[in-house]
Amino acid sequence: MKKILLFAIAMTVSICHFAQEGQLWWGYYDESDPNGHRIGYGGKCTTDAAIYIPRNHTILGNDIIKAVRIWLGDDIDKIDGDLTIWIHKFNTNDLPSNFDISYADYIQVVPKSSLMQGLNEFALTTPYRVNNAGIYVGFTFSTNCSSSFIMSSGKGFLKNSFFLRTNGFWENYSEECGNLAIQIQLDGGSLGANSASPSDFETLFVEKGSSNSVSVPLNIINYGKEPITSVSYTLTKNGVEIIEKTVNVDTLLFNHSVEISIPFPIDNEAKKNEMVLKIAKVNGKENEASQKTAKGALIVILEKPVVVPVVEEFTSTGCGWCPIGIDGMDHVHEVYGDKVALISIHGDDPMKTVDYASVPTLGGYPSSYVNRAKGPYPNGSSLRRYIDEQMKRVTGASLQVLATWANEEKTEIIIDTKTKFVYSEENGKYGLAFVITEDEMTGSGPGWIQYNSLSGNSSYAYSYPFWYNSPYRIMGQKYNYVAVAAWGIDKGVDGSVRPTIVAGEEQKYFFNAKIAGNTLIQDKTKLKVIVLLIDKVTGLIMNAALTSIREYDDTSISNTHITDAHISARYTIDGRKTTIPQKGLNIIKKSDGTIIKIIVK
């Protein structure tokens, strides 16, 4: 379960040690960032902190690690015992929570007496060869009271730059707390002289006619021994080279990065353009980096659709810190109402649904996604900040939904969707996912007891008064936004969005949600339907829509024969377009635009 971290922003004094000739220090952490963070835990615990370097890394490759640097805050006197540096090979960045550090490939114990505030530098007793493997590099320690001496940099928030475990699960804090203050010294034998790698840029949406070009920020890292003063690049659009240019940059040293602005020309046609930027030369010489290209998409749109952000919160009754997420979700609903789609995914309690098993959690409870692009800790202020960011962004499609009970028994729901893209694309890879949530769920028995670590905790007396004044074990808690059923939750339902996308054209899709065998649902009057438009390539949620369920109305079911001349489209109950009547319920779009349901016996 995710613990509450002590988190303070401190204006730290940057301690810079220049390596001797031939020494190269690498890490995600940038010691030149003046706004360092100090992070810790509010109590006695054992803490593991690490970074992950993927296999076949551009810099590490087959290099040798000779030493490790760690920056520590001013609470080092609270360390209980020695500090352990460790290195372990692992092919992915999801080290098991039960991983025992004593089984790491390399272990070196550092006496507490040798630790100091700021920069600590330790030569490895045995240099460690990477052999192109994926590796964790980390350190472990114990504390006997509250402390906040782990340091990080907020400059960049790089992937794989900060993993933390405090008596429980590994958590990925790379996008929340910056880059862990650790660096490694390399032999440098595998490095080239002139080497620059650009980072992929995000998909950019630009309204048609708004301007002739858009400035795209591009991050470049120096992975070579020589300082960089210029780069030469080519830019291609849909496979055709459109720009070749050389730009000068301020002297860029090894493992430092710079952001430059690249102008992308904008077409007058609303469509998706695949953009590729290649750094061909560095300092006028051939770029020696293994990764020379940055990719992304420039999408010209007709108009800006309204964005409905989606919050997916992972929680459990047995999680003592999860009341923070419960409070955060309720706060979001109070502020935004139905302008935000809220989904609570329960694990290891009576409200757990297997339909969400294909969506990975963020390592513990409580945690959350916002449009699966960000993973904020789900307190109210953090969620609002991420939601506001998503509401301001431009997306590629609008989405509408209408839900109706298909029968009096309420065992099926007819979900009618309309997806309208604001650009054209020949081979789109998108899908619709369908989620049913329920409000005010409750129950009795041990599994329904909500644990509450905020109870009597003075740190939360002001910010969470209800939970502060509530007991540690709460019975009778009501749970809202609970996911009780889902379909196509990771990539969308097959066929729900046609691959050929035409700007301004509505795509209609009908989905029949069958819930006859669902044992989670308690009260069908408390259900909502949420539809997610998912980008199958990135896995991100582009947009969403939500609605309550209209009552079954048998007057909307027609047994009257309709001639084909009056029919413009016919759909089966599961949303497939068909040319002939199907036995059972058929959905008919008439030539006048109205939609009716017909039973074929």
Compute and round to an integer the Cα radius of gyration of the chain: 27
Instruction: Render pLDDT for 231-247 as a digit per residue (tens, 0 to 9).
Output: 999 999 999 999 999 99
Confidence label for 394 from pLDDT (cuts 50, 70 and 90): confident
In this predicted structure, what is the pLDDT of residue 190? 65
What's the first-to-final CA gap in the chain, in angstroms? 54
Which candidate, 257, 275, 256, 251, places its Cα nearest to that of 265? 275
Cα gap 323→378, rounded to integer Å = 10
Cα gap 543→538, rounded to integer Å = 14
- For residue 1, pLDDT over 80 is answered with no
In this predicted structure, what is the pLDDT of residue 355? 93
Return the sign of the alpha-carbon dihedral for residues 279, 280, 285, 287.
positive
Of the chain, the percentage scoring pLDDT greater than 70 comes to 84
In this predicted structure, what is the pLDDT of residue 2? 37
The SS3 assignment for 158 reads coil
Cα gap 340→332, rounded to integer Å = 8
Confidence label for 558 from pLDDT (cuts 50, 70 and 90): very low
Instruction: Render pLDDT for 16-46 as a digit per residue (tens, 0 to 9).
Output: 333 444 568 888 887 766 556 666 655 677 8
- For residue 571, pLDDT over 80 is answered with no
Confidence label for 538 from pLDDT (cuts 50, 70 and 90): confident
- For residue 567, pLDDT over 50 is answered with yes
Confidence label for 187 from pLDDT (cuts 50, 70 and 90): confident
In this predicted structure, what is the pLDDT of residue 527? 97
- For residue 78, pLDDT over 70 is answered with yes
In this predicted structure, what is the pLDDT of residue 170? 82
- For residue 306, pLDDT over 50 is answered with yes
In this predicted structure, what is the pLDDT of residue 441? 97
In this predicted structure, what is the pLDDT of residue 326? 97
Tokens encoding 471: 């007991």
Choose from 92-101, 309-318, 578-587 the range with maximum mean pLDDT: 309-318
Cα gap 174→159, rounded to integer Å = 6
- For residue 15, pLDDT over 50 is answered with no
Walk me through the domains of the chain, giving residue ranges and CATH numbers: 5-186 (2.60.120), 196-301 (2.60.40.10), 310-550 (2.60.40.10), 554-600 (no CATH)
